[in-house]
Structure 1
Amino acid sequence: MHIIPVIDLLRGQVVRGIRGERQHYAPIESPLCGSSDPREVVPILLDYAAADTLYVADLDALTGGAVQAALLSRLLKHDPGLTLWLDAGFADATAFDALCGELARLGADAERVVPVFASESLASPAQAAAALRDRTRSILSLDRHGEETLDPAGLWRATALWPQRLILMALERVGAYDGPALELLQSVRAQAPGGTRLIGAGGIRHADDLTGAAAAGADAWLVASALHDRRIPRAQG
């Protein structure tokens, strides 16, 4: 199972995400990192998971503020091999293009920022279709909270718009150690076009959960709390 470490960024600090209740997120207290400074947290997480991809949820942008572009730039400059999957509440493709303009001073490094378009943020089918037109580069996050799908554009049912990479974001399980939503994974796997890579999110308690998720059809999993709390052993190699 491929682990993709996650950081939630709020006002320049890494915070601990719990059940998608963003108003309660606080700077992380991590047995693994001992800091909430992303410049310290990110290298430790990547090393512990032997990963070269980082999922970033920019909570400033997700709650209506500006994307933390300067911080993203520093992370990219610090690690030339790093790829950032960025969820910044992009309402449409234009919003991501505007961020790319801000990052343009990085030159080719800007190509290492991959947009995550979240179903909770895309407001209409037309905006969703435009945002997801590059099926190989863009990533779609299908978001839910409990039994409620967060989906104004109807993307949970619009399988023809699904790109090659699909995140199943069970917000009610994020940071909660409730176990992965395997029934959701199996349901989406049955609907997904051939070749779709499914990335789960939320609920991982230990390494056995990752094994079970792989058996249920997951190609990768987004993980934060189980890494910080050392519930998953350090990756070898």
Structure 2
Amino acid sequence: MRDFQVVPVVDVLGGRAVHAVGGDRARYRPVRSIIAAGDDPRELAGGFRDALGPSPLYLADLDAIAGRGRDLPLYRDLAAIATSLWVDAGAREADDLPPLLTIDGLRVVAGLETASGPDAIAAMLDLAGPDRLIVSLDLRDGRPITPTPDAWGRVEAAEVASRLVAIGVRRVILLDLARVGRGAGVGTFPLLESIACGHPEVQVIIGGGVASAADLIEARRRGASAALVASALHDGRIDRAALERINAPSRD
């Protein structure tokens, strides 16, 4: 069985790493972490590497998501630190991808929140390929977040997931923004299990609400390949030893 991965998250606003809570971006404040002394994203990425070992890194460029431009030099720096860099830069159409795809080791995260619709996702997939495109099924309290009401129609999260798989997406993040930074537990386990059981060819990553190693163990048991984690790494609830225990061979 492939090792379960913890993917550290860096949320960046105005060039600084911030603490994301509940998806209310206007209230995000500079991060405080045991991983690094300050809020410089590069230092934080290096701290994650030192604390957890080599791993992918997830970057949410909140300025880009809000349409205020992308920080390509930062992406290059972080891609040189992590084994791979997953970047949500607010891609709306396939035309947004070429500058990102020039960066070695970068994988584009296309968020349901910003991508204009299923046709845009399909075009991004054609351009980037299934290995370099990760689609984030963005949720708020279990409901899909879309840029316009008619982007996907009034459908449930499970229907969106099915349509993504039908398009050819092979890496999906289940991210409930309402749970981000709250430590209240993961709310997408039923959806995760449904996708993992029905589409074993799809890698499913969970995010939002991971509070402890127990959440990671449960995510792996239900079929997740990885989890996005921020707050529980910043305060030490999850560390390298916990990850090693999760991936230790079973004695049963």
TM-score band (shorter)?
0.7 to 0.9
Counterparts in 2 of 1:64-213, with a 5 A limit?
64-77=67-80, 79=81, 82-100=83-101, 104=102, 110-133=103-126, 134-151=129-146, 153-154=151-152, 155-158=160-163, 159-181=165-187, 182-191=189-198, 193-213=199-219
3-state SS in 1 of match to 2:240:
coil
Contact conserved, 2:23 with 2:177, CA < 8 A, in 1?
yes
Identity within the alignment, %:
35
**Aligned twin of 1:107:** none
- Of stretches 121-130 and 88-97 in structure 1, the one that deviates more from structure 2 is 121-130
Conservation of the 8 A alpha-carbon contact between 2:16 and 2:41: yes
Q: Deviation of residue 51 (structure 1)?
A: 3.2
- Alpha carbons 1:5, 1:46 under 8 Å: kept: no
Contact 2:106/2:132 (CA < 8 Å) preserved in 1? no
Distance across 1 between alignment mates of 2:161 and 2:215 = 25
1:222 alignment partner in structure 2 = 228
Alignment length (residue pairs): 226
| Partner Cα distance (1:19, 1:49) in 2 | 25
Gaps of 5+ in 1: 105-109
Give the whole-Å Cα distance in 1 for the aligned partners of 2:51 and 2:38.
15
Counterparts in 2 of 1:194 and 1:214: CA distance versus 1, 3 Å:
closer
TM-score where L is the length of structure 2: 0.83
Structure 2: tracts of 5 or more residues without a match = 153-159, 245-252
| Aligned residue identity for 2:12 | L
TM-score relative to the length of structure 1: 0.88
Q: Check conservation: 1:67, 1:99, Cα contact below 8 A.
A: no
Name the residue aligned to 2:61: 58
Secondary structure of the structure 1 residue equivalent to 2:210: coil
Q: Quick one: distance in 1 between partners of 2:238 and 2:200?
A: 30
1:33-75 C-alpha deviation (Å, 9 max, x unpaired):
2210112111111222223210000011011111011222233
Choose which of 15, 20, 24 in structure 2 pairs with 1:21.
24
